[in-house]
Amino acid sequence: MDALKMIAESSVKTEVPQFDIGDTVRVDVNIREGERERVQAFEGTVIARKGSGVAETFTVRRVSYGVGVERVFPLHSPNVKDVKVVRKGRVRRAKLYYLRDRVGKAAKVKEQIR
C-alpha cells in the first residue's frame, strides 16, 4: 500500500489550480482524434469536488443549446491542460446538485464581491 501511495504522489501535478464550488471555470482539455491532438475548452460552473490526492475530481456544468451538460474531470489528469477561473461564485453548499432542477436565471450563482 505504501508503494502505491509513493507512485501516486510522484505522478501528482505540483501546481493545482485554486478554485472552489460555485466558480465559473474554463477547463482546457486535450482531445485525441486518431493521430491528431487538439485543445478544447469547456466552460461552466463547478458544482462538486470529490476525492483527495490523485483521485480528486471536479464536476463542471453548463447549459448548451437548452440541454444541461456535465463533465467530470480528474484534477491531476495529464489531459486537463489548464483550469482558469472566469468568475468567483458565492455559495453556501459543498455540492450544487440543486442547480440541475433550476432553469434560466434561477440556475445562476451570485458573484462573490471582494
pLDDT tens digits, one per residue of 41-79 = 999 999 999 998 888 999 999 999 989 999 999 998 889
Q: How confident is the model at residue 11 (pLDDT cuts 50, 70, 90)?
A: low
Between strands 80-87 and 36-50, the pairing is: unpaired
Query: Is 8 inside a domain boundary?
Result: yes
- Tally of domains within the chain: 1
Measure the CA angle with vertex 54, ends 89 and 81; round to 5°: 60
Q: Distance (Å, rounded) from C-alpha 93 to C-alpha 88?
A: 14
In a domain, 44, yes or no: yes
114 belongs to a structural domain? no
Domain range spanning residue 11? 2-95
User: What are the pLDDT digits (tens) for 17-43?
Assistant: 899 999 999 999 999 999 999 999 999
Q: Which helix (H) or strand (E) holds 8?
A: helix 2-11
Report d(CA 85, CA 26) in Å as an integer: 7
Q: Which residue has the cell 461552466?
A: 44
